[in-house]
Amino acid sequence: MKFHGGVRTLRKNGKLFITLLVVLGLFFTACGSSDSTDTTAGTSDTTAGSSNTTAGSSNTTMGTDTSEPVTLRVLAHANPPAQAWQEAFNAKFQEKYPNVTVDVSVVASGDLSVVTQTRLSANDIDVIDIPGFSNPVADYMSGATPPNWQTLIDAGLLLDLTDQPFVQNYDAATIADAMSYNDKIYQVNGGRVSYSGMFVNKDLLAAASLAIPTTWSELVSVCDTVKAAGNECMTVGGADGWPVFVGSYGLLGSFYPDQAGLVEGLWTGAVKWDDAKTAELWNRYYVYATDMLEPGVTSYSHDADPARYAAGDVAFMPTGVWQAPALEAAEPGFDWTYVPFPGSDNASDNQYLFGKYDQGWAINANSPNQQAALDYLAFFSDPANFQEWINAVGFLPTQPGVTLDTKLGGEVAPYLENYRVGFEQYWVQPTGAGQWANGSQGAAWFAPFNEWTDPAALSKQSQADLQAGLDAG
């Protein structure tokens, strides 16, 4: 293969080329980036093009006209219990609205943001699966890039649900914390989860006559005892990386129960990742990652870990409450409870569960099937249906009067009034910050998961990475 001929002519025809390239480039951006005019035209085109569906939706507005079939396109992330529930739910929905066919696309949770973006841009979806809103860019965050959902709303892609009667089925905290942005409501939220606690193997502790630890020092000594007896202290789904964060979220929560305040403190300099109080946090991250977790946790994926834990020789499994159904499925006889991660030496700091508002539903503002989409959300929000949803997925309910009637519901009931939104829901990374700036994930940066072995050095690096971003902004 010869390239030199071409390269020589490049030199000769250089000017010609540059001209051609520039013209082409301008042509392309003309149809690419001047979105405001061009794509609107595109949108109206699509709507006009699918005149059938448009007509269909205007018909449904008038009531339950069954003559025009509507296909309601719903996007959901992969979660097997939720998919099983949704199949039954869709059947019920289609029975009530016989003209509607629900077409659910399931994507892996890691792909949800990409697919949401592309399908909204292509106006190829009616109802989307979206996590609760929690972290708009705050006033003190100068120069930060807004999170995705905020850009979606600002761009007018999500339908305003404020005046829909069904949103009033949700409790006030949920409406404020998860469903609203700038005083308008854009989603209905299907439940809270906690990601800062751990499952406890009650049989194993009982056999060794150990009590459930409520402070850090108790946890350390329980782990020593358990390991001395030939069992393991903790397991997590280390192969996926992020499940390791659960322990660090727990530790961080017991050090800083006011997580919104912590985020503000980090941005304003009132808190530093390497100040005296936080330095101890990094020591505990280190102990958790290298001592408490069993060897070889990088073998287990998040999904596989409940099965590993159900084998019975591990005392604790720090993970989200959403894994309770998987644990019960893996070993029905397993006796467990779920408690906050005891990260502080003061037991009263260890009573909070931190988490996020998980899966919610929002509607594409340009959807030609808006009425059917609204019907879908209204049907979902109906308390009886909502109860079934909660039973299926095991989320902590967001409607008053709906209860989590499972073992998990009973086990976490004492902590529910201490439920708080976690750090990750408030945190927005400053532009220019380095990859170690989000210290809430710190435990996952120690060996065996990453390269660090010295907590003091890592805490300094984390602060330096954050500071670089704050200074650059």
Partner 1 sequence: MSTPIIPSADLRSPDLGSARSITSTTRRTKLGSYVILLTFAVVYMGPLFVLLTVSMKSLPEFFKNPLGLPAGLNFENFVDAWKLANFPTYMLNSAIYASVATAIFVATSILVAFPIARGYFKGSKGMLTLYVVALFLPPALIPQFQLILNLGMYNTRPGYILLFLVNPIGMIILVNYIKSIPRELDESAAVDGCGYFRFVFRVILPLIRPAVATVTVLHAIGIWNELILPTIYLTNDNYYPITRGLIVFEGVYGSNWPALSAAVLMLMIPMLILYMFLQRYIISGLTAGSVKG
Partner 2 sequence: MTIKVSKKSYLFGRGWQRWTPLFLLLPGFGLYLVMAVGPSVATAVYSFTDATGIKGAPVNWIGFDNYDEFLFRGLASRDNIAALQRTLIFSVLVTTIQFGLGLLLALLLNQKLKGRTFFRTLFFMPVILGVAIQGLMWKLLLLPNGGPIAEMFGWFGVRSEFLGGQPKEAFLWVIVVQIWANVGITMVIFLAGMQTIPEDLYEAASIDGADGWNLFKSITWPQLTPAINTNFLLNIIGSLQAWQLFLVLTGYKNGTQVLGYLVFAEGFGQTSGSFTTAFRQGFAAAASIVLFFLVLVLGLAANRLVNRRERKYLG
Site string for partner 2, 188-207 (x = CB under 8 A): -------x------------
Pick the stretch among 109-117, 183-191, 200-208, 371-379 that binds partner 1 (CB under 8 A): 109-117
Kindly state the smallest distance separating residue 117's Cβ from partner 2, in Å.
Answer: 6
- Three-state DSSP class for residue 146: coil
Q: Is the dihedral of CA 404, 405, 408, 411 positive or negative?
A: positive
Binders in 45-104 for partner 2, by CB under 8 A = none
Task: Check residue 245 for interaction with partner 1 (CB under 8 A).
Answer: no
Phi, psi angles (nearest 5°) of residue 188 = -110, 135
51 binding partner (options partner 2, partner 1, none; Cβ < 5 to 8 Å by kind)? none
Kindly state the smallest distance separating residue 350's Cβ from partner 1, in Å.
Answer: 30
Smallest CA-to-CA distance from 374 within 100, 154, 181, 174 is with 100
Task: Check residue 27 for interaction with partner 1 (CB under 8 A).
Answer: no
49 binding partner (options partner 2, partner 1, none; Cβ < 5 to 8 Å by kind)? partner 1
420 binding partner (options partner 1, partner 2, none; Cβ < 5 to 8 Å by kind)? none
Q: Is the dihedral of CA 354, 411, 351, 449 positive or negative?
A: negative
472 binding partner (options partner 1, partner 2, none; Cβ < 5 to 8 Å by kind)? partner 2
Task: Check residue 308 for interaction with partner 1 (CB under 8 A).
Answer: yes
Site string for partner 2, 392-431 (x = CB under 8 A): ------------------------------x-xx-x-xxx
Kindly state the smallest distance separating residue 183's Cβ from partner 2, in Å.
Answer: 21
Rounded CA separation 27/139 (Å): 39
182-187: Cβ within 8 A, 24+ apart: 182/153, 184/160, 185/160, 185/161, 186/133, 186/153, 186/158, 186/159, 186/160, 186/161, 186/362, 187/130, 187/132, 187/133, 187/158, 187/161, 187/360, 187/361, 187/362
Encoded tokens for 420: 């708080």
Q: Decide whether 104 or 208 has the Cβ nearer to partner 1.
A: 104
Residues 58 and 357: beta-carbon distance below 8 Å: no
Kindly state the smallest distance separating residue 104's Cβ from partner 1, in Å.
Answer: 10
435 binding partner (options partner 2, partner 1, none; Cβ < 5 to 8 Å by kind)? partner 2
Kindly state the smallest distance separating residue 78's Cβ from partner 2, in Å.
Answer: 12
Task: Check residue 365 for interaction with partner 1 (CB under 8 A).
Answer: no
Kindly state the smallest distance separating residue 40's Cβ from partner 1, in Å.
Answer: 11
Pick the stretch among 112-120, 204-212, 322-330, 344-352 that binds partner 2 (CB under 8 A): 112-120
Angle 300-302-308 from CA coordinates, rounded to 5°: 50
Smallest CA-to-CA distance from 232 within 319, 293, 301 is with 293
CA dihedral 193, 196, 201, 202 (to 10 degrees): -90
Kindly state the smallest distance separating residue 34's Cβ from partner 1, in Å.
Answer: 11
Strands (DSSP E) along 132-291, which ranges? 180-181, 184-185, 188-189, 192-194, 197-201, 232-234
Binders in 124-143 for partner 2, by CB under 8 A = 131
CA distances for 336 relative to 217, 246, 470, angstroms = 22, 18, 43
Residues 379 and 96: beta-carbon distance below 8 Å: yes
CA distances for 337 relative to 169, 231, 406, 407, 415, angstroms = 30, 19, 12, 9, 12
Encoded tokens for 454: 């010295």
Task: Check residue 300 for interaction with partner 1 (CB under 8 A).
Answer: yes
Kindly state the smallest distance separating residue 427's Cβ from partner 1, in Å.
Answer: 25
Binders in 35-94 for partner 1, by CB under 8 A = 38-39, 42, 45-46, 49, 78, 80
**One of 57, 102, 119, 185 touching partner 1 (CB under 8 A):** 119
**One of 49, 98, 269, 296 touching partner 2 (CB under 8 A):** 296
Rounded CA separation 341/246 (Å): 9
Site string for partner 1, 122-141 (x = CB under 8 A): x-x-----------------
Q: Decide whether 97 or 322 has the Cβ nearer to partner 2.
A: 322
Kindly state the smallest distance separating residue 304's Cβ from partner 1, in Å.
Answer: 3
SS percent in the chain: helix, strand, coil, step 5: 55, 15, 30
Rounded CA separation 319/226 (Å): 20
Rounded CA separation 190/358 (Å): 7
Strand 314-318 relative to strand 232-234: parallel, antiparallel, unpaired? parallel
445 binding partner (options partner 1, partner 2, none; Cβ < 5 to 8 Å by kind)? partner 2
Answer whether the bond into residue 332 is a cis peptide, omega within 30°.
no
Smallest CA-to-CA distance from 291 within 446, 439, 120 is with 446
Pick the stretch among 62-70, 299-307, 416-424, 459-467 that binds partner 1 (CB under 8 A): 299-307
Site string for partner 1, 164-193 (x = CB under 8 A): ------------------------------
Query: Which residues of this chain interact with partner 1, rule CB under 8 A?
Result: 1-7, 9-10, 13, 16-17, 28-29, 31-33, 38-39, 42, 45-46, 49, 78, 80, 105-111, 114-115, 118-119, 121-122, 124, 300-305, 307-308, 311
